[in-house]
DNA sequence: GTCTATATACGGATAGAC
DNA sequence: GTCTATCCGTATATAGAC
């Protein structure tokens, strides 16, 4: 997975946007016959419209409350046409969950792997997660809120995805502890708390927007707060930026 | 509001249980004519069954996906009888949201007011919030997940309730900073992060249960993590417990 | 590929007996 | 107070024309 720079949000956003599109096509290539549609161009364009509409409506009143009529109107496609892109509402939900998970996993792993020092890894992990959930906020909000409303198999995948993300954080904290840079008696619990904080960013987006706190301010504050708790004073470095 | 002790969870739980029941009766007394029911005993017993059933089903598959038939079966009342206790699904949802908010606000404010020192206030606030959301976990999970699926007026009340809770934390941090005990350059942001961490407790209950982390371990770890970040080293005290 | 029209089922709410 | 039976709107999904 190629790395996406994490010091410039605008640059990051552009690359995520490209990655999203390439994932549609990849999915299309890997699952021939799932769609009744032939042309890549058509499918890519319409999937994007469908997803955007589904996110907008679901995040306002819930996926289950969104009707196919709602969706067809917002996506500018008839209800009949929608069924060329997914086999039913459940299927649409599952597709969207998978799409978000795939992108998250790729971007996170890629960006963390680039860094070698625990402290830099931790900073990269936090900032990448924040940037990604900012660039795809409706997707993250949707995934979180609708996670329980899917079939058992898909739900297990969703839970597992969450645990994997947490594990990424935990491994970094663990490594830092082993090197004496971080002080903690429970790396996994530390990771849980960090995860809670990064999730708050996309779950309470409106609140932070009202207070004029953008993703960079949030990243700076959160990082400083965590490092102030976690860093071994013996190794203290000037704080980031 | 009388204080509920926060060093013993079992004791706490018992008192919250009593408070819950008294809130039903209070609501009943304050709104004569809302219910078609006459006897306090009947209404209290059935409301409890209805709420319990609604929480169980909604938290599994979402309030909107729960049908009146589901609810009637789980509550052991016919669909017709249910309408003696609320005027429709929307009304039920709103009632439940209000009930949770009322209790939260009373208990939190009461327990914080007892303490005078910022550090003790902070510890009381965190532990009370954790204990309360533990004793009423299904209620808190429900309120969070269904907050967006209600009418505009009720939603404003829900958002305001959240902000009030956050403000309780922020005021404590502010006071501590003024007294030189806490080090922070943004009390409100600190409160937001603390709130994100206490919320994680009731949102990811299953995860922590699987790891054998109970509410007391969580409280200890979280408190230690925050204090390690926030406390002015000049004033450092031996950590709690 | 997309549309309109429609089959079919399901859910909220009420009527009226007991 | 609670039940059963039922009305009626609405939702998903499909059929078939273009």
Instruction: Per residue of chain B (241 residues), give pLDDT as tens.
Output: 556 777 899 999 999 999 998 888 887 787 766 766 668 888 889 999 999 999 999 999 999 999 999 999 999 999 999 999 999 999 999 999 999 999 999 999 999 999 999 999 999 999 999 999 999 999 999 999 999 999 999 999 999 999 999 999 999 999 999 999 999 999 999 999 999 999 999 999 999 999 999 999 999 999 999 999 999 988 765 554 4
- What is the C-alpha to C-alpha distance for residues B4 and A127, in angstroms, rounded to an integer? 40
The reply to whether B3 falls in a domain is no
Over residues A106-129, the pLDDT tens digits come to 999 999 999 999 999 999 999 999
Q: Quick check: B211 and A188 CB within 8 A? A: yes
pLDDT of A69 > 70? The answer is yes
- What is the C-alpha to C-alpha distance for residues B26 and B14, in angstroms, rounded to an integer? 19
**Region class of B212: left (phi > 0), else alpha (psi between -120 and 50), else beta:** left
Across B94-104, b (16+ Cβ under 10 Å) vs e yields bbbbbbbbbbb
The reply to whether A124 falls in a domain is yes
The reply to whether A3 falls in a domain is no
Q: Quick check: B200 and A193 CB within 8 A? A: yes
Chain A residues 157-196, Cβ below 7 A from strand C: none
CB of A77 nearer than 7 A to strand C: yes
Structure tokens belonging to residue B48 = 């409890």
Interface test with B, best of A55, A142, A146, A148 (most B CBs within 10 A): A148
pLDDT of A239 > 70? The answer is no
The reply to whether B1 falls in a domain is no
**Nearest-nucleotide field for B46 (CA, C1'):** D1
The reply to whether A2 falls in a domain is no
The reply to whether B197 falls in a domain is yes
The reply to whether B241 falls in a domain is no
Tell me the pLDDT band of A63, cut-offs 50, 70 and 90: very high
CATH number at A208 reads 1.10.357.10
pLDDT of A240 > 50? The answer is no
The reply to whether B49 falls in a domain is yes
Residue of least CA–C1' distance to C3: A78
pLDDT of A142 > 80? The answer is yes
Q: Are B155 and B147 in contact (CB under 8 A)?
A: yes
Q: In angstroms, what CA-CA distances link A99 with A27, A77, A136?
A: 9, 21, 11
Q: CA-to-C1' distance for B5 and D1, Å? A: 40
**Nearest-nucleotide field for B38 (CA, C1'):** D1
User: Into how many domains does chain A fold?
Assistant: 1
Q: CA-to-C1' distance for B146 and D1, Å? A: 30
Judging contacts by C-beta atoms under 8 Å, the chain B residues touching residue A207 are: 163, 192
Question: Out of A65, A192, A213, whose CB is closest to B149?
Answer: A65
- What is the C-alpha to C-alpha distance for residues A139 and A19, in angstroms, rounded to an integer? 14
Structure tokens belonging to residue B179 = 């007294």
More confident position, A50 or B4: A50
pLDDT of A145 > 90? The answer is yes
- pLDDT given for residue B238 in this prediction: 55
Q: What angle do CA A221, A227, A185 make, to 5 degrees?
A: 135
Domain containing B115 equals 9-234
| Segment A174-192 mean pLDDT | 98
| Segment A54-80 mean pLDDT | 98
* CA closest to A150 among chain B residues: B61
Among A134-143, A164-173, B4-13, name the one with the lowest average pLDDT: B4-13
Helices (H) and strands (E) in chain B, counts: 11, 0
**Region class of B3: left (phi > 0), else alpha (psi between -120 and 50), else beta:** beta
Tell me the pLDDT band of A161, cut-offs 50, 70 and 90: very high
Q: Mean of the per-residue pLDDT values for chain A?
A: 93
Q: What angle do CA B97, B103, B108 make, to 5 degrees?
A: 125
Question: Out of A149, A186, A225, whose CB is closest to B193?
Answer: A225
For residue B136, which of B162, B167, B97 has the smallest C-alpha distance? B97
- What is the C-alpha to C-alpha distance for residues A118 and A173, in angstroms, rounded to an integer? 7
Judging contacts by C-beta atoms under 8 Å, the chain A residues touching residue B188 are: 211
* CA closest to B65 among chain A residues: A64
CB count, 10 Å around CB of B87? 12
- pTM: predicted TM-score of the whole model, two decimal places: 0.96
| CB-based contact, A164 to chain B, within 8 Å | no
């Amino acid at each position: 997975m190629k790395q996406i720079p994490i010091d410039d949000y605008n640059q990051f956003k552009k690359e995520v946007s490209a990655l999203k599109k390439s994932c549609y096509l990849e999915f299309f290539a890997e699952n021939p016959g799932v769609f009744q549609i032939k042309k890549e161009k058509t499918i890519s364009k319409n999937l994007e419209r469908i997803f955007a509409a589904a996110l907008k409506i679901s995040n306002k009143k819930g996926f289950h409350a969104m009707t196919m009529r709602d969706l067809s109107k917002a996506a500018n496609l008839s209800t009949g046409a929608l069924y060329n892109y997914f086999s039913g509402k459940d299927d649409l939900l599952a597709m969207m969950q998978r799409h978000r998970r795939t992108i998250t996993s790729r971007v996170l792993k890629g960006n963390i792997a680039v860094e070698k020092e625990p402290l830099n890894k931790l900073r990269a992990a936090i900032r990448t997660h924040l940037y990604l959930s900012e660039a795809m906020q409706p997707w993250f909000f949707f995934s979180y809120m609708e996670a329980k409303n899917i079939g058992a198999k898909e739900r297990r995948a969703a839970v597992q995805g969450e645990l994997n993300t947490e594990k990424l954080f935990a491994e970094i904290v663990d490594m830092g502890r082993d090197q004496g840079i971080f002080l903690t008696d429970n790396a996994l619990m530390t990771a849980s708390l960090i995860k809670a904080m990064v999730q708050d960013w996309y779950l309470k987006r409106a609140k932070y927007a009202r207070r004029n706190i953008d993703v960079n301010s949030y990243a700076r504050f959160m990082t400083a707060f965590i490092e102030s708790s976690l860093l071994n004073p013996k190794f203290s470095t000037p704080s980031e930026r």
